[in-house]
């Protein structure tokens, strides 16, 4: 599907189905013809039938939303495995998607036929490696046209030279001039004939090009049809094998039979939802175990001669140590309560650190890789900042009050010019002497500065928004 970006819109819908979100691809093409393919999960996300860009495509950019289903099978079959309708339908849908995408690719990337005007559509693409025309309806290339143009120029130059020679030879002779005119007309006629021949050759070259392209398209169509037929044949073969396996009496439990680890069987005495998986290889007993008739719980183990069986649900598709999340309920011992049967599934236990499970309660899951080793734990629900983690900041400060006080000043006075001495002042008989004023020294001292404390010294919540589900593990 195609859209044109407006610089603000980020969500675009599509109508075709898909098996996995990562199969939906997006390609952008600028007005200059520069094409780029975006990455799922980095440049865009998928929610049902809507593509949402993390950054809105620029105005005028062409947006192409398409599906690209891999040819690797989405379903793997194993000897003795349960043949589920879900898996068969999934495989058929994958093959249908691949066939649809092959048909679309011919139209998008090939030269398609337009019924409206009976023409082949090259979709504004060039043809390359085109041979020179040989028949009148063959297509021509640029190199051939250039060579034809040179030939025409040479012919005209010859005509001009002949006319000039005739005029030089004849002088003012009217007869010679007429002859030259006739020769020139003949030469012009010859040049015109050459031009018509070149045009015919050009048209023939174009026809040959069209025929070659038609043959190429037909060959590609035949190749695609052959691949489709091969895929259909493989599907039919798989379906035939599945039907044969379902009809095979060996799919039912047999006595005195050697069973290998992982073998799957069933018994008509058991509920229709149940199957048996071999957890200990060996030869089955001489008679069918009576426990088959009393099966009610998933995860129950049954001894059958040398063989040990475990009861599975036919639609579970789970194997030992598989882990998944669920909103289902559990019994008091932590075993999953089957939502269909309403009974405890003794082969599935909540991940609480018991029964061979890891404790995933109140835990987020992170993908193991370069940073986190498989089985590593860490993180904290709340966190109290350290001094190094606090942002750079400032505090206001002030000095404490020392109360009401003063500082003394000692002044040496002088006797006035009239010989008068002032009470409380010292005497100095030197006329014209000026006294010196100073502040009493307070000695070495300092002032107290107080900075007020703030904050509750608490930890902050370190969790993103969440929805809690229980992790469970297939323990047997």
Lowest mean pLDDT of 9-23, 229-243, 414-428, name the range: 414-428
pLDDT at 161: 64
Structure tokens at 204: 């023939």
In sequence order, which residues have a C-beta less than 8 Å from that of residue 97 and are 6 or more positions away? 17, 18, 19, 23, 67, 69
* Residues above pLDDT 90, as percent of the chain: 12
The pLDDT value given to residue 386:
83
How many CB atoms are located within 10 Å of the residue 197 CB?
12
SS3 at position 167:
helix
For residue 12, the model assigns a pLDDT of 94
Comparison of pLDDT for 400 and 342, the residue scoring more? 342
What pLDDT sits at residue 149? 55
Q: How much is the mean pLDDT over the chain?
A: 75
pLDDT score of 169 more than 60: no
Q: How far is Cα 336 from Cα 319, in angstroms, rounded to an integer? A: 15
pLDDT of residue 423: 45
pLDDT grade, residue 425 (50/70/90)? very low
Q: For residue 285, what pLDDT is reported?
A: 93
Q: Which 3 state secondary structure label does DSSP give 407?
A: coil
Q: How far apart are CA 411 and CA 424, in angstroms?
A: 10
The answer, yes or no, to whether residue 329 has pLDDT greater than 80, is yes
How does pLDDT run across 449-475, given as a tens digit for each residue?
Answer: 777 777 777 777 777 776 777 777 777
Query: In terms of pLDDT, which residue wins out, 311 or 174?
Result: 311
Q: Work out whether the CA dihedral 366, 372, 376, 378 comes out positive or negative.
A: negative
**Lowest model confidence (mean pLDDT) among 26-40, 207-221, 378-392, 424-438:** 424-438
Confidence of residue 39 (pLDDT cuts 50, 70, 90): very high
Mean pLDDT over 370-379 rounds to: 84
Strands across the sheet containing 24-29: 2-4, 62-67, 24-29, 35-37
pLDDT at 8 over 90: yes
Q: Say whether pLDDT at 303 is over 90.
A: yes
Share of the chain above pLDDT 70, in %: 68
Query: Does the pTM exceed 0.75?
Result: no
Q: Which range, 139-143, 301-305, 396-400, is most confident?
A: 301-305
More confident residue, 404 or 43: 43
pLDDT range class, residue 286, cuts 50, 70, 90: very high
The two tokens of residue 454 are 């703030």
Arithmetic mean of pLDDT, 24-39 = 89
């Amino acid at each position: 599907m195609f859209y044109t970006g407006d610089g603000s819109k980020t969500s675009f819908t599509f109508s075709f189905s898909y098996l996995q979100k990562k199969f939906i691809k997006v390609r952008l093409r600028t007005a200059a013809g520069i094409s780029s393919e975006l990455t799922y999960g980095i440049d865009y996300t998928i929610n049902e039938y809507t593509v949402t860009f993390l950054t809105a495509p620029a105005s005028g950019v062409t947006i192409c939303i398409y599906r690209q289903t891999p040819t690797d099978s989405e379903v793997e079959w194993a000897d003795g495995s349960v043949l589920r309708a879900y898996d068969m339908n999934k495989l058929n849908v994958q093959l249908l998607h691949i066939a649809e995408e092959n048909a679309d690719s011919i139209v998008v990337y090939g030269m398609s036929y337009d019924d409206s005007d009976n023409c082949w559509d090259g979709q504004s693409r060039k043809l390359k490696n085109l041979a020179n025309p040989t028949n009148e309806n063959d297509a021509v290339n640029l190199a051939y046209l250039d060579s034809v143009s040179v030939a025409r120029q040479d012919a005209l130059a010859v005509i001009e030279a002949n006319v000039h020679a005739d005029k030089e030879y004849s002088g003012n002779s009217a007869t010679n001039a007429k002859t030259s005119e006739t020769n020139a007309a003949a030469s012009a006629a010859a040049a015109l004939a050459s031009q018509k021949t070149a045009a015919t050759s050009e048209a023939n070259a174009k026809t040959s090009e069209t025929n070659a392209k038609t043959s190429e398209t037909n060959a590609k169509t035949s190749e695609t049809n052959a691949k489709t037929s091969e895929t259909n044949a493989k599907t039919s073969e798989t379906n035939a094998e599945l039907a044969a396996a379902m009809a095979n009496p060996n799919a039912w439990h047999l006595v005195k039979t050697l069973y290998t680890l992982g073998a799957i069987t069933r018994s008509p005495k058991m509920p229709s939802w149940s199957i048996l998986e071999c957890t200990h290889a060996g030869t089955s007993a001489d008679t069918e175990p009576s426990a088959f008739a009393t099966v009610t719980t998933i995860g129950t183990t049954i001894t059958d001669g040398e063989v040990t069986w475990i009861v599975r649900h036919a639609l579970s598709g789970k194997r030992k140590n598989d882990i998944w999340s669920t909103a289902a309920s559990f019994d008091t011992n932590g075993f999953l309560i089957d939502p269909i049967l309403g009974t405890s599934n003794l082969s599935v236990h909540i991940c609480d650190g018991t029964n061979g499970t890891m404790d995933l309660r109140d835990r987020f899951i992170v993908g193991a890789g370069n940073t986190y080793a498989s089985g590593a734990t860490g993180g904290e629900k709340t966190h109290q900042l350290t001094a190094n983690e606090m942002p750079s900041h400032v505090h206001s400060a002030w000095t404490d009050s020392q109360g009401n006080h003063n500082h003394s000043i000692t002044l040496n006075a002088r006797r006035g010019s009239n010989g008068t001495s002032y009470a409380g002042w010292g005497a100095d008989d030197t006329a014209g002497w000026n006294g010196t004023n100073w502040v009493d020294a307070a000695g070495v001292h300092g002032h107290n500065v107080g900075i007020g404390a703030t904050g509750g010294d608490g930890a902050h919540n370190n969790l993103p928004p969440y929805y809690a589900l229980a992790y469970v593990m297939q323990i047997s």
